[in-house]
Amino acid sequence: MRPVSDLETAARPVARRAVFLDRDGTLIRDPGYLADPAGVELFPATGDALRALAECGLALVVCTNQSGIARGKYTVEQYERVARRLEDLLRDEGVSLLATYYCPYHPEGDVPPWNCDHDDRKPAPGMWLRAARDLGIDLAASYTIGDGERDVVAGKRAGTTSILVAAGRDKWPLPVGGPFDPDFTARDLREAAIWVMRREARPLPGRPGAPLSGTPRPAARVP
């Protein structure tokens, strides 16, 4: 086998580290089958928490199931308008997503071609695996944060460290001590970000409610 030179080693791209984020119920309030951009509402801590995660050197990647497309609740075009609205609101918070992946499939849907199962549908890890290939992400050095069991299971199957946001705990069974249990259960996105910051040896806020991010929220844009 030919030895690898120092120059060749230095030329290899360094794999990104990322945090994979669920959308509905994690970043924004979940009204159910969100089809109208006007209904996109960030949780109060979302901007600060995401800025803090980005300061940990983590790219931000959204992975969201959107079975409403297969079920005929909204169209791909409506989903895309909602996604753009989310990106606009995050931009106002000084947050940029590296990428967003969504799964429009569901086997109980009635709108072809989406009315079938798919490897991208959480709790399968297809969106994570695609992101790793597309974006050069090191899954073993990355995190997953979501409010559902399916988010945690997909993240664990992909090899990430996975955090359950438990604000909507009545929706999901409690952890049972199995291989797909969350590595940490947080009350909300802020507490999840603090746990990641501690693991990443980042400075923590000195008092409850203090900003997590060293980067303040940008000033409001003047219309």
Catalytic residues: 22, 24
> With the CA atoms of 177, 180, 184 and 189 taken in that order, what torsion angle do they form, in degrees rounded to the nearest 10?
-140
Two structure tokens written together for 174: 């409690």
Question: Do 200 and 212 meet the contact criterion of CB atoms below 8 Å apart?
Answer: no
**Burial label, 200 (beta-carbon count in 10 A; 0-12, 13-18, 19+):** middle
Helices (H), the chain: 6-11, 46-55, 67-70, 76-92, 126-135, 149-158, 189-199
Q: Which residue shows structure tokens 């501690």?
A: 198
SS3 184: strand
Continuous segment of H or E residues that includes residue 42: none
Alpha-carbon distance of 109 to 115, in angstroms, equals 4
Q: How are strands ordered across the β-sheet holding 18-21?
A: 99-103, 59-65, 18-21, 143-146, 161-165, 184-186
